[in-house]
A and B are shown apart, each in its own frame.
Chain A
Amino acid sequence: MPEEILLMDKITKVYPNGFVANKDVTLSINKGEIHALVGENGAGKSTLMKVLFGIEQPEEGKIYIKGKEVKINNPLEAIANGVGMVHQHFMLVPSLTVAENVVLGMEPKKNGLFDFEEAVRITEEAVNKYNLKVSARAKVEDLPVGFKQKVEIIKALVRGAEILILDEPTAVLTPQETAELFVELKHLRDQGHTIVFISHKLNEIKELCDRLTVLRLGKSVGKAIVADVTEQEISKMMVGRDVVLKVEKTKAEPKETVLKVRDLRIASDTGRTIVDNISFSVRKGEILGVAGVEGNGQSQISEAITGLLGFQNGSITVNGVDVKGKSIRRIREMGVSHVSEDRMTYGVAATSGVKDNVISDRYYKKEFNKGLLMDKKKIEDLSDRLIKEFLIKCDDRDRAVKMLSGGNMQKVVVAREFSNNPKLVIANQPTRGIDVGATEFIRKRLVELRDEGTAVLLISADLNEVLELSDSLIVMNEGHIAAYIPDASSISDMELGEYMLGVKKQTPEEIARVAYD
Chain B
Amino acid sequence: MTSKQIERRFDAFKTFMAIAIALGIAFIVISFVSESPVEAIATFITGPLQRKSRIGNILEMMTPIMFTGTAICIMYQANQFNMIGEGAFLIAANLTTWFAVTHETWSGLPLQIACLRVGIVTGVVAAFIPAILKVKFKANEVVSSIMMNYILLNVSNYILYYKMRDTVSGQQASYKIPERAKFAKIWTGTRVHTGIFIALAVAVLMYFFIYRTKWGYAIRMVGANANFAKYSGISIVSVAMATQLIGGAIAGLGGSVEMLGMYDRFIWYGTQPGYGFDGIMVGVLAKNNPILVPLAAFFLAYMRIGADVMNRMSDVPIEFVDVVQGLIIMFVAAEMFLSKYKHKLIVNNAKKQLEAKEAAE
Contact = CB atoms under 8 A, between A and B. Distances in A.
Interface string B211-248: 01110011011001101111111110000000000000
A166 to B, nearest CB: 28
B8 interface: no
A23 B235 contact: no
A23 B227 CA distance: 36
Contact of A374 (B212, B228, B339, B342): B212
A368 B3 CA distance: 30
Interface in A322-337: 327-329, 331-333
B346 interface: yes
A480 interface: no
Contacts of B227: 345-346
Candidate in B2, B6, B217, B342 with the most chain A CB atoms within 10 angstroms = B217
Given A329-B235, A373-B208, A16 B343 contact: yes
B233 A329 contact: yes
B351 A14 contact: yes
B155 interface: no
A306 B227 CA distance: 14
B217 A346 contact: no
Contacts of B351: 12, 14, 20
Interface in A486-502: none
A59 interface: yes
A360 B350 contact: no
A153 to B, nearest CB: 30
A471 interface: no
A369 B221 contact: no
B214 A364 contact: yes
Interface on chain B toward A: helix, strand, loop, or mixed SS? helix
B225 A350 contact: yes
Interface residues of B, number: 32
Given A329-B233, A369-B214, A373-B213, A16 B346 contact: yes
Contacts of A331: 233
Nearest to A328: B233
Nearest to B354: A20
Contacts of B230: 308, 328, 346
B347 interface: yes
Given A16-B343, A369-B214, A348 B3 contact: no
B349 interface: yes
Contacts of B229: 349, 360
Interface of A: 12, 14, 16-20, 23, 59, 306, 308, 327-329, 331-333, 338, 340, 345-352, 356, 359-361, 363-364, 368-369, 372-374, 376
18 contacts: A12-B351, A14-B347, A14-B350, A18-B2, A18-B349, A23-B354, A329-B234, A332-B233, A345-B228, A347-B231, A351-B224, A352-B220, A356-B217, A360-B228, A361-B233, A364-B218, A369-B214, A372-B213
Interface of B: 2-3, 6-7, 208, 212-214, 217-218, 220-221, 224-225, 227-235, 339, 342-343, 346-347, 349-351, 354
